[in-house]
Structures are given as structure tokens and as C-alpha cells.
Amino acid sequence: MKKDNLIWLVFIVFSLNSCAILGQKISNEKKPNVLFILADDLGINALNCYGNNLVESPNIDKLFDEGIHFTNGYSNDPTCAPSRASIMSGQYVPRHKVYRVANRYKKQKGTLEHMKYLPPANYKLRGSGGGLALDKVTLGEAFQNNGYVTSAYGKWHLGKNALGIPHQGFTEGLEVVGHYNFKISPHQDDIDNSEYSADFITRKTKNFIAKAVKNHKPFFAYVPYYLVHKPLEPKPEYLKHFKEKYGKNKNISEKELKVLAMIKSLDESVGQLLDYIKSLEIEDETIIVFASDNGHYKTDNLIFTKPYRGYKGKTYEGGIRVPYIFKWKNHIKPKTASKEPIIHVDIYPTLLGLTGSKLPENYILDGEDISNILYHPNAKTKRDALVWEYTNYARYNKRKKTFASQWVNVIQMDGFKLTEVIEDDSYYMFNLNKDPYETEDIISKYPIEADKLKARLEKWKKDTGYEAPKKNPDYIGK
């Protein structure tokens, strides 16, 4: 054999062996864990680290400093169930068909009679009621398919029985509703529900993490706390603390003191989970995400939504802007921020991307993997628009001839935010670049931009299988 050929043969054999060893190392390397904490009804301005100095949230503030946060983070809906369905399915509302928390208009005759159109129906499974359809590949199922053990302790809100947590891709978990005297599903006889639900959720999650670490399994722990959802039930010691601190402040109501105390409890629970991750020495192999399901509910002085307009149940910024924090020690640079608009459907592909996990086959994901932005905060998203469909009709006012909420479609593109009002086929638009607090309707000043957004909205409807409005047979108007 010629010398050159012999050298080449040795090189090939060496290269193949090296690739085999590298491939073995990659395949045997444990994937990073994921701890995904989801707050309930916590708006973007309900944390100290996001600028609310009335709030005490030292643990979340520390997480904020240790990772990257987003200043233009959005929920997929201004209410709970649709936004959670988008998180779990990775899809926009018309695809997953969890349109509303409840059909309130059906119980309000005065509302139903003044609706020109009927909104599309929520998905329902016989025997289990409404919720997220089983043909959706949930985030839990996606992680299970990639070798993860998964848990979900907390607020599910995506269906009972066959649509509940045990059937939606979680190795273990329970739905927890309420604070004191909380309810759980599936029912368990041996659980003491007199403790604070956040403490119960935290303990169950820590136990799950401990088992996963002991068994050398990567874990996905979904922790959807019920805090700070109503009823306003704070821990007495925290309420006492804030009464002593702000009791003489006339700009903070009694109810808002309770909310402050509940936020402190949320922060306490988050801190316990973060400390536990550190105590197990898995901090550098655990991706931590903190977000909320939608904007904050209305309070007496709007101290958790100002300076933004609107609140939970509204598609104004106060109803859909939420905090987003990502931390991965030694991977994501601390104390960084991004102004890029992101939305709930981005969480699904991003977590799979960060962990090197495979996406589900033949399954549509509407979000974008924003991993590159987490590593490079000045990077941009590839998409051109964000879209919302909100179909919740409620509380028609005969004197004012207005609904407290109604069917609207919203699109944000190039800083412009256009809203389509289905009832009267009207539109209004804000320029968030200059007017983030939505004080001036500028649609008449920017007709070219408005037409561009309208056209893009129509394309979105076609792409997502949007159900067009249907005439309401009970409508009494002309």
C-alpha cells in the first residue's frame, strides 16, 4: 500500500472513532432540566424588578438580575384558560379552540340579545367538559417524548377527567384551585388542604425534583401557582406586614394590601424552589423560566397595571403585558434585557430548542424559538406580527349601549396595534412606539399602515382556521 493511501486510511479510521466517541458522549449526556414557574394574574407592573416599588419580590428580583428579562412580553389572551392553552399547545387560539374561560353571555339575557354575532364554541369532550383537546401535543408530552420526567402541580384550567393533568403528558401532578381550603383534581383523600396552596405546590414540586435527580433523569417541572388569583386570601403575617407599612397610605386600598401580601407569598415560594435547585447543585444544568398567564385584574387604584391602559379581560396593554424572565447559569448572560415582542406560544419551541429536544412531528407550532435572543439580547425575532383573538362577550350596558367585553381581533406589527371590533365592523389603532399607554387612536392619520395591518390580519385568519362570525338568532337589534 502506498504511504499516502496508508496515511489517508489511518485518518479515516481515527475520524470515525472520534465521531463515534463524540456521538456516544452526546447521546449519553444528560439534557438540561426545566423549571417553568407560571404566576396567575400577575401583570408586568406587579413586581419590584419591573418597576413597582410598592411590591416586595426579592427572590424574583434576584432571578431577574441573574438572567434575561423581556420588556415587551405578552400573553396570548387577557384571560386564564385560552392563554394557558396556548402555552401548553404552542398554538394560537383558533387552532386549540379554548376561546373563553366561560360562556358568560349565555347566562346574561340582556347581553345575548344585543350580540349581533355568536362567538365560536369552546372545544368540549363528552364526559369531561371543556378543555384542551387530546390530539394536541402538550408541552408535557413533547418533553416526555424526549426522555424527560414531567410534573404539573397547580392551576391547570384546561379540562377535567380525561382532559386533566394525568392524561396530558405529565408523569405526576394535581390541579390545585384556591389558596386556603384548596380543591384538587383528581381527588385525593389523604391530602390536608388547610395549608396554603402555594406551600403545597412548592413541596410537591420539590419532591418531584428530588426523585428525578436521584434517578438521574432530566425533568420538566411545570409550576402554575394559583397566586395571585382571587379570592384575596393572603397569609395573615404578610397582610399584617403591609398594613403596618402602608396602612396610612390613602392611595393603597385594603384589597390592594391583600394583593401585595399575596405577591410576597408568590415570591416566597419562588425563592424556595430556586434555593432548592441550588442546594441540589443542579443550577448550571437547569433552565428556569418565570412568566404569568395574563395581565393583572382591576384593583381600586390600578397600582398593579399603571401606567398601562386596561387590565385582565381587556386587550389593551395592561391586560396582555406580562413579565418574562429566563435564567440558565453559565449559558444566559445575567442582567440582560430584550425589547423584542414575545408571546406565550414562543415558550414551547424555545424550551425544546434550548434543551436540544425534537419537535413533535406533523404538528403545527405558531410560536418562534427565541433561544438566539436569550443568548444574544440584541437579536430580533423573524416574524412580522403578533395576533390575538378575544371572543368574550359580557355585561351589556343598555344605557351606554356597550359591552364590558366583546369579540375583538388584535394585531401588532411594526409597533402599530390595530383592533378589529366584530360587532360594528370598526377599527382603532395605536402607535406603541410613541404611545405605549394607548392614549390616542391614530387610525385616521395612518391609513396606509392600517390597511397593511388589516391585510395581514386577514392572512392570519386564513392560516389559523379562524371561524368567521355567525349571526345571532336571539339578536333583538336592527
Residue position matching grid coordinates 393603597: 252
Residue 478 belongs to some domain of the structure: no
Judgement on whether residues 317 and 190 belong to the same structural domain of the protein: yes
Judgement on whether residues 84 and 175 belong to the same structural domain of the protein: yes
What's the predicted TM-score (pTM) here?
0.92
Provide the phi-psi class of 400: left if phi over 0, else alpha when psi is between -120 and 50, else beta.
alpha
Half-sphere exposure in the Cβ direction for 206 (13 Å, CA): 18
Range of the domain at 400: 387-471
SS3 assignment, position 356: coil
Residue position matching grid coordinates 489517508: 8
- Residues 399, 79: Cα–Cα separation, whole Å: 27
Judgement on whether residues 449 and 320 belong to the same structural domain of the protein: no
pLDDT at 18: 41
Judgement on whether residues 140 and 19 belong to the same structural domain of the protein: no
Task: Please count the other Cβ atoms lying within 10 Å of the Cβ belonging to residue 1.
Answer: 8
Judgement on whether residues 21 and 44 belong to the same structural domain of the protein: no
Residue 477 belongs to some domain of the structure: no
Identify the helix (H) or strand (E) that includes residue 408: strand 408-413
Residue 407 belongs to some domain of the structure: yes
Half-sphere exposure in the Cβ direction for 424 (13 Å, CA): 9
Residue position matching grid coordinates 405577591: 263
Backbone angles phi, psi at 244, to 5 degrees: -70, -35
Judgement on whether residues 319 and 412 belong to the same structural domain of the protein: no
Residue 69 belongs to some domain of the structure: yes
- Count of structural domains within the chain: 3
pLDDT (tens digit per residue) in 445-464: 999 999 999 999 999 999 99
Judgement on whether residues 363 and 309 belong to the same structural domain of the protein: yes
pLDDT at 27: 39
**CATH number of the domain that 324 lies in?**
3.40.720.10
Judgement on whether residues 19 and 39 belong to the same structural domain of the protein: no
In this prediction, the residues of the chain whose per-residue pLDDT falls under 50 are: 1-28
Whether omega before 228 lies within 30 degrees of 0, making that bond cis, reads yes
Q: Indicate the residue among 334, 350, 384 that finishes a domain.
A: 384
Residue 322 belongs to some domain of the structure: yes
Judgement on whether residues 161 and 206 belong to the same structural domain of the protein: yes
Judgement on whether residues 450 and 403 belong to the same structural domain of the protein: yes
CA dist 112 to 98, 123, 344, 397, 401, Å? 20, 20, 31, 12, 13
Q: Indicate the residue among 343, 359, 384 that finishes a domain.
A: 384
CA dihedral defined by 292, 298, 302, 305, rounded to 10 degrees?
Answer: 30
Judgement on whether residues 81 and 70 belong to the same structural domain of the protein: yes
**CATH number of the domain that 391 lies in?**
3.30.1120.10
Q: Indicate the residue among 384, 415, 450 that finishes a domain.
A: 384
Task: Please count the other Cβ atoms lying within 10 Å of the Cβ belonging to residue 238.
Answer: 20
Largest CA distance in the chain: 98
Judgement on whether residues 80 and 132 belong to the same structural domain of the protein: yes
Report the Cα 242 to chain-centroid distance in Å.
28
